[in-house]
A and B are shown apart, each in its own frame.
Chain A
Amino acid sequence: MTTLSLAPSMTRQPSRRLRPALGHLGPAAAFLFLALLAVAALAPHLLTHADPLAIAPRDAFHAPSAAHPFGTDQSGRDILARVIHGARQSLALGGGAITLSLGIATILALVGGLGGRIAEQGVRWLIDILFAFPVLVLALLCTATLGSGIVPLIVAIGVGSAAGYTRMVFGQVLSVRDAGYVEAARALGHGPLRIVARHILPNAFRPLVVTATMGVGQTVVWSAALSFLGLGAPPPAAEWGTMLSMGRDFIAEAWWMTFFPGLAIVLTMLSTTIAGRALQRAIEGRGP
């Protein structure tokens, strides 16, 4: 019996040892890429010396080469430099929109969850209304009223994606509100502000860390899509969506003009998703 039960576990051992190594590879690459993005956003000149806006008509439509690893566009601007410089705007949009979203979600959830029965019903209705608004329509509305640029886009995406987060945080606040430990804190004589800060918010946000991380990637995709439609930074700004839109006209002869900004968008989305999952595992693995 002993030998019988030993055999399968021996054959399983190598894969068991391999799996953690493979499992860490993805998140490591994802976090590395995100770190690179952060550097590109904060200090792009560390990664490239080329000017993203400098025109060199003679160098137009160069295929990727040693001098221009990602090639050049119709005006001879270096695509690599433009992709690197574009990171700032994409991340600012992504980060800004998600912050706005979470801010709206938190305020609405706290008001609805702790403000009594009328506030609770009001927030439920507001969530339903927000859900009915497509991000695209909001974006058009914002650019029409606030003018084009990064701020209207942040507002549009932030408000547009707030409904989903609000519903999540709201549900969490509702369940944490009635939890035994909140009651215990009240029985200890703690005031409402302390209970919200020390119990309700942290516990309501715990499952949200993961979704918010993945949400950054989502908003980057959204902002690229809106820029592609001409609602973001006008050309020739170094913005991934704008670059995609410009490259579309030349896609037959200069594939690199669309491919590399597109790759940046895909990799950003992918690495935030992977990083989010890694965070989820880390959070779930820790404690109860």
Chain B
Amino acid sequence: MSLDVENLSISFPSPTGAHMAVRDVSFTLHPGRVVALVGESGSGKSVTARGLIGLAGAQAHVTARRLALNGRDLRALSPRDWRALRGREIGMVLQDALVALDPLRPVGREIAESLSAHRWGTRTERRQRVHTLLQQVGIPDPALRARQRPDELSGGLRQRALIASAIALTPKLLIADEPTTALDPSVQAQILGLLGRLRDQGTGLLLISHDLGFVARLADHVIVLHHGAVVEQGETARILGRPVHAYTRTLLDADPVRHPPRAARPAPDGPPLLAAHALSLARRGPDGLTRQILADVGFTLHPGRTLGLIGESGSGKTTTARIVTGLTRPDSGQVTFLDQPWVRGGGQPVAESARRPRRRAMAMIYQDPLGSFDPRWTVRQILADALPDTPSTGRDHAIASLLDRVRLPASIAARHPAALSGGQRQRVAIARAVAVRPALIVCDEPVSALDVSVQAQVLDLLEALQRDLGMAYLFISHDLGVIRRMCDDVLVMQAGRIVEAGPAARILTAPRHAFTRTLLDAAQDLSAA
């Protein structure tokens, strides 16, 4: 059983003639082997995967010199034949488990459906099979989990349930489209282990990812795609170890893990810029149970330094950022900013009007920059809004120099953020943040939604801005490579508490707390190439 692909090309009609999304991709996938498609978003990875299982869409024009599964030509298949093939012989794991799973259906039923769609077994046999599958992908307590809906499962369990439905009929080939994107490192490591087990059991894997560390751990053969064309392919060790093509090298260099860690700087003296003391917050969830979201969180941040905040999702990183920015009020504890009270929990809150004069000393950069822009506004209006003190005569000049500072062309000022790429949007957000000349920028996962090469550019930019303008960063990320590169000091959070704090170099090399070690091990698993 093997999949042979020779000169696969996929094009879509567009107003200016056919648009080639993928050009001449060729490879062979054998059982027990892993082929990886690597590239940035828009490089044609997902389109290729969809083309292979006949899901490229009605508009797509798919051609190939050879496209055969075990010698059977797939080019002439009818939609009906495709349906019989998908799931039974080729399984597909989609990118976003929350979207790919029916939100109103228990996952057990979802998995059972991939069985019943191919008329597999009786109802009782199917139920048993679902439990076996859930166990197989490492979901504890399968009888309970099968009855839960996707939103009741964590991201990792959800992704595993999706994999379970893809392997329900034990297909010999499995296509996994970004199976670990948006997952925490520890969960990523679990998925990595699961996929590795499937490979060892003889499943052929086509892995699509922009994460080179992940690819390096799993793949035998790597295909690097750029603008729909194959720039390089071959043995994983050769491609990642001795890349020939410039683009592959760019991708590799962009991986934050390969970047030297931040040089140690002398410990700061003088008063801190920001000091948080004993922040606590509890909220009642929809189920009526009160949960402690933050407990006794305290730290200080000195001018010009970068403090990293790491931890799994749900550990309270973003809540801490929201309290620091004065958008959420803690139950108790206080934050001092610029030597004056900024946020205080309990009976004597600091009024927003008392914060407003100092607001411009603190800026924010969000994970989703688009949501932080008024949809009616152009880039010019967004930046002008952050520059109210600039007289209107000098405003255009100020906006042009801001855009120049974040290395965007001045022509972008007339456009709406929705029409920009993710990297450009984040640059506009950074331009707005530095427009107010802040002493502190709170960055909440500023690069996690970006491709690695864009990520590297944005991180370069943030570093350069800090060097030139001397502001401090409170930097939230779940990516340890990014943290290692950007931060002087690190806080490790778990379940709303700070479990370890100290200089980045020490924490990332010699962690003391068990949880920090787990985080590091997971990251190590992913990046050991």
Contacts and interface: CB of A to CB of B under 8 A. Distances in A.
A181 B372 contact: yes
Interface string B417-456: 0100000000000001000100000000000000000000
A288 B374 CA distance: 10
A282 interface: no
Contact of A203 (B352, B359, B371, B374): B374
Contact of B372 (A183, A287, A288): A183
B362 interface: yes
Contacts of B352: 186
B375 A287 contact: yes
B320 to A, nearest CB: 15
A48 B401 CA distance: 61
B416 A199 contact: no
Most buried by B among A1, A189, A191, A288: A189
A181 B362 CA distance: 16
Interface string B363-377: 110101001111110
A206 B374 CA distance: 12
Contacts of B371: 179-181
B368 A180 contact: yes
A11 interface: no
A187 B366 CA distance: 12
A206 B364 CA distance: 27
Contact of A5 (B61, B356, B374): B61
A187 B364 contact: yes
Contact of A189 (B356, B372, B375, B418): B356
B464 interface: no
Given A188-B360, A188-B436, A202-B376, A180 B386 contact: no
Q: Say what secondary structure dominates the interface of chain A.
A: helix
Nearest to B362: A187
A186 B327 contact: yes
Most buried by A among B385, B418, B432: B385
B325 interface: yes
Interface residues of B, number: 27
A16 to B, nearest CB: 12
B145 to A, nearest CB: 32
Interface in B293-333: 325, 327
A188 B325 contact: no
A191 B356 contact: yes
A149 B33 CA distance: 85
A202 B376 CA distance: 9
A288 B416 contact: yes
Contacts of B358: 189
Nearest to A186: B327
Nearest to A182: B374
Nearest to B366: A180
B374 A187 contact: no
B513 to A, nearest CB: 32
A188 B385 contact: yes
A213 B371 CA distance: 29
Nearest to B417: A288
Contacts of A202: 376
Interface string A184-215: 11111111000000110011001000000000
Contacts of B416: 287-288
A188 B359 contact: yes
Contact of B375 (A5, A183, A185, A288): A288
A185 B385 contact: yes
Most buried by A among B373, B376, B386: B376
Contacts of B375: 181, 203, 287-288
A181 B374 contact: yes
Nearest to B381: A198
Interface string B480-519: 0000000000000000000000000000000000000000
B446 to A, nearest CB: 14
A256 to B, nearest CB: 49
A69 to B, nearest CB: 46
Contacts of B432: 184, 188
A163 to B, nearest CB: 27
Given A183-B327, A188-B360, A188-B436, A203 B368 contact: no
A152 to B, nearest CB: 38
A199 B382 CA distance: 11
A185 to B, nearest CB: 7
A184 B372 contact: yes
B368 A187 contact: no
Contacts of A288: 375, 416, 418
Contacts of B374: 181, 198-199, 203
Nearest to A183: B327
Interface in A143-196: 179-181, 183-191
Contacts of A187: 325, 327, 359, 362-364
A162 to B, nearest CB: 26
A199 B375 CA distance: 10
A38 B371 CA distance: 41
Contacts of B364: 184, 187
B37 to A, nearest CB: 26
A116 to B, nearest CB: 14
A182 to B, nearest CB: 8
Interface in A237-252: none
Nearest to A187: B364
Contacts of B61: 1, 5
A225 B418 CA distance: 46
Contacts of A179: 371
Nearest to B363: A187
Contacts of A191: 356
Contacts of B436: 188-189
B360 A203 contact: no
Contacts of A287: 375-376, 416, 418
Contacts of A181: 371-375
A169 B334 CA distance: 37
A288 B370 CA distance: 11
A190 B325 CA distance: 14
27 contacts: A5-B61, A180-B366, A180-B368, A180-B373, A181-B373, A181-B374, A181-B375, A183-B327, A184-B364, A184-B432, A185-B385, A186-B327, A187-B359, A188-B363, A188-B385, A188-B436, A189-B357, A189-B358, A189-B360, A190-B385, A191-B356, A198-B374, A199-B374, A203-B375, A203-B376, A287-B376, A288-B416
Given A187-B362, A287-B376, 9 more contacts: A180-B368, A180-B371, A181-B373, A183-B327, A188-B436, A189-B436, A199-B374, A203-B376, A287-B375
Interface of A: 1, 5, 179-181, 183-191, 198-199, 202-203, 206, 287-288
Interface of B: 13, 61, 325, 327, 352, 356-360, 362-364, 366, 368, 371-376, 385-386, 416, 418, 432, 436
